[in-house]
Structure formats: structure tokens, C-alpha cells
Amino acid sequence: MAGIGDRARRIVSVAMVLAVALVLSGCSKSTDTAGERSSKGSTTTGVNGGTNRECSPPGDTTPLKVDAVGIDGRDFDMVSFDGTRIRTHWFPNPAATPENPAPTVLMGPGWSLAGATDVNQSEVLGSIDIASLLNAGYNVATWDPRGFGASDGYATVDSAAFEGRDVQQLIDWLATLPGVELEAERNPRMGMVGGSYGGGIQLVTAAIDCRVDAIVPIVAWHSLRTSLYKSETVKIGWAGVLANAAATSKVDAHITSAWEAAQTTGVLSAEDIRWFIERGPGDMIEKVEVPTLLIHGTIDTLFTLDEAVTNYRILEKHRVPVAMLWNCDGHGVCLTSRGDPNRARSAAIGWLDRYVKDDKSVEVVSGFDAIDQNGDRYVADRYVGRSDSHVTAQGKGTLALSAEGGSGPLDPSTAAGQMLAGIAADLTPTKATNALNIEITDSEDSGGDHERGTLLLGEPVVEVTYTGERSAETVDSATTRRPTRVFAQLVDESDGKVVGNQVTPIKVVLDGKEHKARVPLEVISFSLKPQAKLTLQLVARTVAYATPELGGSIEFSSVEVKLPVGDWLKPVN
């Protein structure tokens, strides 16, 4: 893949992320049931109750060394716990004084990027700019994560042991500044925002440091295994973007070796897989206790909706105040209606006002707030994602395992004007010409709204019975075989677009014997109108994932698809 210029690298706010299961000592928390939070050490509440939190800052009280950089009084070099210099950027609220201090928001950047310094520029994928936060009454701090921008060290993908501890020391420093509202010594009243890599670091920090009051992770992830290596299939398009974006930065050697393996064999080493899994929040999500607003994109093809849903379910299970908002944004291109472009920004600032400022008069976003491809909104008190009602279809047929006629790439002109079009178009699925096609139409008893259509929201499921055989050339080949896969996608026949730009890999066995598989597809949000038609396509190749073994064919004796009806949501007029 060609090198990426400065503007494109600013565009690629892509995260790889989260934390080693090392939980740094020092924060003590006790949990209880719901209540109203007036300050740390009291109680918190939210859309699903809350937690009673008693917070002691981390035990490291070593005085920080912080040096001013430049002449504008905005940039500083902070020496972190291991001697690594971390460049930070400070934007105090003009109205804040020692007598009338303001709460503070930390905003992390995307993968490979330096912290934001342009007050009026919206962070890509973040939907928030420094000016909006200042106008809302906050101080703002940004920083260059280690390995990126002007910071030293090597990027270790939002590791709790390194990037997480860097942010902890940043919090220590902020607590010493005039105009910063404190709740106790070394304990500023603060929240966090940011998209992608800047979303991952929020989940890490909140898991290891009880001083964080609220977080708004935008298009973050749960596990790098399920997001970048789903069904042990390399997400080659985004992996290339990530690797190229950090080509001039200092990154851990596992990142380089994984990218080399992805290009050559399509199979990662056990060591690299283990390293990346340790840097997904995974079980660390269970340690997050602060109000969390998960903002995610229906068209995000790097960190798909399932990543946010998994985080949501864990937080809800542990009675953490949590809400989830979906919009047509994220790592990808929006080819359908965006709806209200200010919805995510307003929700994020409202969340901070409610849970950082502790303004109980602020109405926060519903427990779940989503849009379909038409920009129509649907809300519910909580995310359910399952239904007793389904739209179903069946079929059968043969798929030739050929390189021709696959899914993607997208014509960039289709997404003209969008920031990520120049990058994401090359790895966006499209309707395939070499495919097994199963027609899907709505039924009269599906419970759909005949004005808007039947809302299909959640995780479709495909069940297949098949027999697959390799080609004679492949059988005789002595070279190392690539993984055997096919890919499933849903196509809206009204415009020929792949629903949500989503495609799912399916493991197959090519040994001439009959096999069965049941595979959940990527989560969707789509309204199927009367007389409209979807098509389930099983395809041999897609630009989104590494090319599998080709040659031969698969005979599908049975294909069944079930799409969940979102009858638990209410439309918003």
C-alpha cells in the first residue's frame, strides 16, 4: 500500500487498543447500589443505577517533572513514570480562576496521531472539538501518546502498563494547575472523550484509575482478536492502513511482525495473537465503574457494532451507568443518510455535563439511541438486540472459489467529500458478481411499520450445510495453504449497497465431506420496507479481509438466514 501523507494520517484516527490485564495498584473502590453522585467518595447514578465509589489516588507520589515547550504557554513535556517524555497540550478555560475553577476533559487522539492543538478542528471520528468543550465550561488537555507526535518511547497499543500509566501521571499534573476544579488532593473533577485509539485509552484509564468521573469512548473496541482477526481471518485492509499510518513512528515489534505475517500467509503467530489480545479491554471492562456513553458507527468496518455491544453488555451486567448511541460514522464511509449531524456531539457534552459537572438537570441520551439507513431514529431504555420475531429466508446453490467478481472495492466517487473516502473506499465491500444469492423479503406477520418498514436491528444468523472441494492445482501444491474461508454480506437491492458496509468471514472445510456451520453476522440497523428486497450473498473474496485459499468450489445444500426484528425499539418522530 502506498505511503500515507500528513492529511491522510490525520484522517486515519484508527485505534488498535486497550490494556494489559495489569491493574495498577492504588485506586480503592467499593461498590453498592444506585444513588446520586455529588462527588467522588459519595455515589454515582445513571441510566442503569450506579456505584458507590470511594477513591484514593494511585500510590505513586513522586514529584512530576514538567517542562514548558515553546513560547505560547500551551505545550509541555511531562516525564512519565519510566523516564519517557510525553508531550502534552493545555487549554485552560478562559473563565476559570483559582477561586472559580472549572472541571477538566482529557481528549486522546487516534492511532499514530499527536494530540489535538487546533482549537476549532473536530477530531476525526470524535465529533468534538476543543472549542466546543471550552464553550461548555471545561478546561481541556490533549497529549501525544508515547511513540507518536513529539513524545518519546514506543507505542504499545494503549497498554495499561504504559499508555495507561502515562495518563495517570497526566491527571496528577492537572491536579496541580490553577483553575482546575478538585474533588480532593491529586483528584481533579474530570472526564474523557476521544475516538478510536482515543476511545480505547478511556476504557483503560477508567479501569485502573478511580479519579475519572465519566467517559465517552467513540468507535472504540472490545477485543483486537474479534475486531482485527475475526474467525482467525486478518482484516487486511484496515491492518494495512494502521501499519502505514505508523510507518514513521516508533511501535512495538509485535505490530510489525503481525503485519508482515498478514501479507505473506494471512495467519498470525500465536505469540502475536496473545500480545494483541492482552491489549483489548476484554475483562478489564469489568473494572470500569464510571458512567460510560458508547458512541459507535453503523458503517464502522474496523471496529464493528459488535465491539460496542459487547462492552455495553458487560457494563450493564455490572450495573454501571451506560448508554449507547449509533450514528452513520466511524472507520469507513457513510453511503446512506447521516440523520442529525450534531446528535453525537450534543449527547457527548450532555453526558459530561451530567456526570462530570454533576448537573442533575441535564437530560442524557436514552439507554439506547440508534438510526437506520434512512437516518430515522429509534430509542429504547436499554439495548436488547434480540427478538422473538425474525425475517427469514432459505436457499441453496454453488459458489466457485474464484478471485474474480468479489466484494469490493468501492468506487471512491460514491463517497466523494467524505474525509475517509480516499482510504476506506479501497477496503469497503460492494455487491459481488460471483456469489451465491439468497433473496430476503419482508413477511406480513413480521410486525413491521409499513410506513417506515420493518426495523432489522441486531445480529443476523446464517446456518449452512455444505460440501467443499479444493481444485486439483491446490491439492497438488506443496506451498503453505492460506485459510479456507467464504464471506457473507447483505445487499440492499434498492440501491445495490452492502448493508452497513459489513461483511463476515465464515470458516469452511474443503475436504469433500458434508459440514454444517452456524455463524452470527455483523450487527446491522436497517429498515426493510414493503416490497423491498435484501439479498444474502456468500462470496469467495472481499477487499475487507485477507484473500483466502482460492480454487475449487462449495456446494451449499442448505442456507438459512434469520434477521432479528427490532420490535423492542420506539421510533422517534
Over the stretch 118-155, which tens digit does the pLDDT of each residue have? 998 876 666 689 999 999 999 999 999 999 999 999 99
For 400-461, the DSSP string reads E--STT-B-PPPGGGGTT-TTHHHHGGG-----SSEEEEEEE--TTS--BTTTBEEEEE--E
For 179-220, the DSSP string reads TB-EEETTEE-EEEEEETHHHHHHHHHHHH-TT--EEEEES-
d(CA 177, CA 88): 13
C-alpha cell belonging to residue 14:
484508527
Q: Are residues 262 and 326 in the same domain?
A: yes
- Quick check: 37 pLDDT over 50? no
d(CA 353, CA 364): 9
Q: Are residues 275 and 375 in the same domain?
A: yes
Per residue in 386-423, pLDDT tens? 889 999 999 999 999 999 999 999 999 998 888 888 88
Is 302 a member of any domain?
yes
Instruction: Quote the pLDDT of residue 448.
Output: 53
Q: Are residues 92 and 119 in the same domain?
A: yes
Instruction: Quote the pLDDT of residue 301.
Output: 97
CATH number at residue 534: 2.60.120
Q: Are residues 294 and 416 in the same domain?
A: no
Per residue in 171-186, pLDDT tens? 999 999 999 999 999 9
Query: Among 361, 380, 399, which residue terminates a domain?
Result: 380
d(CA 558, CA 396): 5
* pTM for the whole structure: 0.90
Q: Are residues 180 and 210 in the same domain?
A: yes
CB-based contact 141:86 (threshold 8 Å): no
Q: What's the whole-number average pLDDT of the chain?
A: 88
Query: Among 346, 380, 414, which residue terminates a domain?
Result: 380
Per residue in 526-544, pLDDT tens? 999 988 999 999 999 999 9
Angle 24-150-194 from CA coordinates, rounded to 5°: 60
Per residue in 491-519, pLDDT tens? 999 999 999 999 999 999 999 999 999 99
Bridge partners (DSSP) of residue 4 are none
* Nearby residues of 43 by Cβ (< 8 Å), 6 or more positions away: 32, 34, 35, 36, 37, 50, 51, 52, 53
CATH number at residue 106: 3.40.50.1820
Averaged pLDDT, 440-453: 69
- Quick check: 275 pLDDT over 90? no
One-letter amino acid for residue 215 of the chain? I
C-alpha cell belonging to residue 86:
510525553
d(CA 358, CA 170): 23
Averaged pLDDT, 462-466: 98
Residue 463's Cβ-side half-sphere holds a number of Cα atoms within 13 Å equal to 6
Three-class DSSP labels, 50-71: CCECCCCCCCCCCCCEEEEECC
Select from 519, 502, 528, 503 the least CA-distant residue to 556: 519
Residue 230's Cβ-side half-sphere holds a number of Cα atoms within 13 Å equal to 27
Structural domain harbouring 347:
15-380
Angle 4-18-26 from CA coordinates, rounded to 5°: 140
Per residue in 40-79, pLDDT tens? 433 334 343 434 457 888 877 677 899 999 888 999 999 9
Q: How confident is the model at residue 442 (pLDDT cuts 50, 70, 90)?
A: confident
